[in-house]
Structure 1
Amino acid sequence: MYQKTVRLISPVNGELYAERPLINDDALDDALTLSRRVQTAWAKVPLNERIAYCRKALEHLKKHDTDIVKELAWQMGRPVRSGGENSPLEERFNYMSGIAGRALAPLTEEYSDRVRRYISRVPHGVVLVIAPWNYPYLTACNAIFPALISGNTVVLKHAVQTLLVGERLQQAFDASGIPAGVFQNLVLDHAQTEKIISSRRVNFVNFTGSVYAGQVIERAAAGQFIGVGLELGGKDPAYVCEDADIEKTAEMLIDGAFFNSGQCCCGIERIYAAKPVYEKFLEKCVSLTKSYVLGNPLEQATTIGPMAQARYAEGVRKQISAAVSAGARTLIDPALFPADKPGSAYVAPQIVVDVSHDMEIMTEENFGPVVGIMPVSSDAEAIKLMNDSHYGLTASVWTSDMARAERIGEELDTGTIFMNRCDYVDPALCWTGCKDTGRGVTMSEIGFHQLTRPKSHHLRKF
């Protein structure tokens, strides 16, 4: 009997890199039943022991980092010189495991011999994590580790583009000695995933991905009364004030726009620069962009690799072309990047000017190595333009005046406001969004609260 498979096409050479069979219906039913059956016992394992299992899994991943970095280059195109995701992964794990006792502790109102009133944090049960390919370890583990530490069991459905990441995570948890069924990586298609959600086989869904897919998940969960955490698209803006350090600002914003070939949920996609510094800022940005090396991500000289799929690169090219047809100008000659070839996943980094919000390049997510830059006359104009988006993940203000940054930040509709930094997840602060970016929350104490539910206790003696 033919078994359907999923195929991972490498952006490096456009060839098949991995292929795996989808789980069949009987095996899927067994996996979900096991996950639910072992959850109660897992929740009773002491907190420090749950953390220890997760730490052992993390240590296993670290031991295999060299192989993992190469696999990531083959799977989604990130240059090997960028390294893997171990450093930020360990930073987030250390912080979240360190605050777990406090975050999951009961909130006590009264505790005496005669009356005890408190609110405890109770795990949801089975958590389905649907992870994306762009930061395949980080985004998955942002939910996996806190979910397990909280006493949930986890079912992981990873993106096809990073198929081997799910397997690596399964190997890591198996090596940790964690009880069978507490963590399971399953190869699923979209129809199977929707069915799991709509049949209430899980208690909470954590998803990172597109707005469209988030809408599909919400519809599947409708009427099931299960929690859904969604981190969706972004069109993250930056505002460069006239008192900004132009050298450092340009360096960080160009990195924020082009790192990982621009395939970052919080990558910089549009910049508004104060008119007095606009030309100087633009000149520095162009110089930095020309220094990039586009090519095979397995070569150490490469600083920007292919996008994850050729169709994503084609979408970026079309957005640039549409902007130019509407009157915009590109500042980077693609001839400087010989690897950029139409139809391939390799696309040169690009800066576009003379843009407006009548162009999709300034309003719709491109998720690629292109950034539009506009001059602005005032804080008020910058705020208006930054808010002119149906996304809301992060926004950054570049200035030497913290009070000014705070004042501007208060008026921005966004999940996170940065001053003099971008494209960064601080585990002490909740990672969240607004508008079409969704309503997910990971990191910080609030991240633990999303993966648990409150339970009130009112006990008294006569």
Structure 2
Amino acid sequence: MSTGKPVLTTISPITQQPIHTRDEFTPDQIPSLVEASKAAFKNFKASYDLAARQKLVAKALDILESKADERARDLTEQMGRPIQYCASEIKTAVARGRYMLRVSTEVLKDVPGDEEAGFTRYIRKEPLGIILVIFAWNYPYLILINSLVPALLAGNALILKPSPQTPTIPETFLSVLEEAGLPKNVVQVVHCGNADTLSKLVSSPGIDSVTFTGSVAGGLATQQAAAKRVIPVGLELGGNDPAYIRPDMDVKWAAAEIVDGSVFNSGQSCCSIERVYVHEDVYDKFVEAVVGVVNGYKLGDPFSGSSHLGPVISVKSAQNIRKHIQEALDAGAKSLTPDIFKEGEALGETFVRPEILVNVNHNMRVMKEETFGPVIAIQKVTSDEEAVQLMNDSDLGLTASIWTRDVPTGEKLAELVEAGTVFVNRADYPSPDLAWTGWKNSGRGQTLSKFGFDQFVRLKNFHLKQAPTP
């Protein structure tokens, strides 16, 4: 018998059948949720100093690592990534967490002021309170660890709001933390697919900070919901990430790297390579090499153990990807995708083949907007200057990459590129010791690195003067 409560249903990207249901969080639950977080935060701050929080997080990371192979299936089932790549996401998340754990003592310690006789001055980094973490489905363990670990180490309480597509991931984190000894309600999980309800939660007076990872539209909606309150809002949004192949590059090696950076996870990464600019001197050889690399890929059942690519997240996403491709073809682009993916495509509408497009230009949406699919769009350029100009011709700026044997020149070009991270001879790799940050419409604030703690603390100054002795 139906309870009348709203229910969220997770649809398999593989079969299009329901695989999970969760009771949906409703506005009337906000007061009790926030009050529970407030009480838990107060107790956590009073009872757990940094050493105790570090011990708890270290134990939780050990437990999570032990469950990596066991929990990998959840990722394949809920978001379609081939099974052989899923445990590595969890292990990479653990490695990120351990980096943040390692630097936390230095980052969170008091900062002394200048010495002056009769005075003691220092700056303390205090927790903000209740952190609302809204995060996406495409790398749920990695995205969540970016906020969860530094926020907990800083002494905050958290409310986790996952994508309805990956409901079990925060539940796994919560069970791991509780097994490690985390007090009740320091971390809570809510399942919400209603934009109005989420807006009400964001704007609730009990929320002290929001971090959002997802689309530009979703980030702007979150920012607007918080606009009447003076709280920090961290945004990690989309990418339309370019790569430039200089004429001195080993094109065969670069082609393998570019294909992987473009289509891994079916191209559903914020920092996937979406636009490739190739110097005219090596253009033909590079394109030929890319076709050869793609010939070695298999689109198929993500549970098979032999597929490089599985389905994209939904029928709607698949339709959008194919629309971008078709618009480009209608405008004069040409597809060079090898005719080897029919068996995989026959598995369903969400099984989108890797698409190699040439004869593209910046009048096409496939070059101007984030496609978020397995598309490799390749454009010929005549110079470094033209390449940089085209790389910067976007309202997004998450990452970019330059491929050259001349690393000093690559570094000089990187200085001209408008992106939060610029790689030389690498791509699609958020390094835990570097700040993960977006320029332009790709975001605001940062995670990872020593600066990744900043959005979870506020500064409190202590200014002490020795009173005169009578």
TM-score relative to the length of structure 1: 0.97
Alpha-carbon distance in 2 for matches of 1:49, 1:246? 51
C-alpha separation between the residues in 2 aligned to 1:217 and 1:226? 12
The answer to whether 1:241 aligns with 2:246 is yes
CA contact (8 A) 1:43 1:150 kept: no
Which of 244, 257, 271 aligns to 2:262? It is: 257
Hey, what does 1:71 align to over in structure 2? 74
Q: Are the equivalent residues in 1 in contact too, given 2:96–2:145 (CA < 8 A)?
A: no
1:39 corresponds to which residue? 41
**Does structure 1 retain, via aligned residues, the 8 Å contact 2:76–2:86?**
no
How far is the alpha carbon of 1:111 from its aligned partner?
A: 4.9
SS in 2 for 1:161: coil
Query: Where does the alignment leave 5 or more consecutive residues of structure 1 unmatched?
Result: none
Aligned position for 1:83: 86
Query: Residue 119 and residue 240 in structure 1: after superposition, are their counterparts in 2 closer, same or farther (change >3 A)?
Result: same
Could you tell me which residue of structure 1 aligns to residue 56 of structure 2?
A: 53
Name the SS of the counterpart of 2:319 in structure 1. Answer: helix
1:448 counterpart = 2:453: yes
- Partner of 1:8, secondary structure, is strand
- For 1:25 and 1:215, how far apart are their aligned partners in 2? 21
Measured in 2, the distance between the counterparts of 1:27 and 1:67 equals 33
CA distance in structure 2 between the partners assigned to 1:12 and 1:260 by the alignment: 14
Code of the residue aligned with 1:373 in structure 2: it is: I
Partner-residue secondary structure (3-state), 2:19: strand
- What are the Cα deviations for residues 315-367 of structure 1, in whole angstroms up to 9, with x where unaligned? 11111000000000010045533221597110000110000000000010011
> 1:397 Cα shift?
0.7
Q: State the partner residue of 2:9.
A: 7
In structure 2, what is the equivalent of residue 150 of structure 1? Answer: 154
- What is the match of residue 294 of structure 1? 299
Identify the residue that residue 228 of structure 1 maps to in structure 2.
233
SS of the residue corresponding to residue 422 of structure 1 reads coil
- Give the counterpart letter for 1:218 in structure 2: Q
Following superposition, the deviation at residue 112 of structure 1 comes to 6.3
Assess if the C-alpha contact under 8 Å between 2:269 and 2:372 holds in 1: yes
Structure 2 residue identity aligned to 1:356:
N
Find the counterpart in structure 2 of residue 62 from structure 1: 65
Aligned partner of 1:163 among 163, 167, 173: 167
Match of 2:370 in 1: 365
- What letter matches 2:325 in structure 1? I
Q: Distance in 1 between matches of 2:341 and 2:222?
A: 42
Alignment check: 8 A CA contact 1:355 1:372 kept? yes
Once residues 403 and 314 of structure 1 are traced to their aligned partners in structure 2, the CA distance between those partners, rounded to angstroms, is 42
4+ residue stretches of structure 1 with deviation over 6 A?
A: none
The C-alpha deviation readout for 1:17-72, integer Å capped at 9, x for no partner, is 10111134554422211111221332341212212222222222223223311111
Cα offset, 1:242, TM superposition: 1.0
Cα distance in 2, alignment partners of residues 87 and 240 from structure 1 = 31
Deviates more, 1:18-27 or 1:174-183: 18-27
State whether residues 314 and 342 of structure 1, in contact with CA within 8 Å, keep that contact through their aligned partners in structure 2. no
1:5–1:20 Cα contact (<8 Å) kept:
yes
Q: TM-score, normalised by structure 2?
A: 0.95
The partner residue of 2:32 within 30, 33, 45 is 30
Which sits farther off after the overlay, 67-76 or 253-262? 67-76
Q: How far did 1:228 drift?
A: 0.3
Cα distance in 1 for residues equivalent to 2:466 and 2:335: 76
Tell me the C-alpha RMSD between the 2 structures: 1.5
Identity fraction in percent:
38
**1:331 matched to which residue of 2?**
336
Task: Return the alpha-carbon distance in structure 2 between the equivalents of residues 26 and 278 of structure 1.
Answer: 59
Give me the whole-angstrom Cα distance separating, in 1, the residues matched to 2:463 and 2:252: 59
Instruction: Classify the secondary structure of the residue corresponding to 1:134.
Output: coil
Structure 2: stretches of 5+ with no match in the other structure:
none
After TM superposition, give the deviation of residue 279 of structure 1 in Å: 1.1
Q: 1:191 to 1:57 in 2, by over 3 A?
A: farther
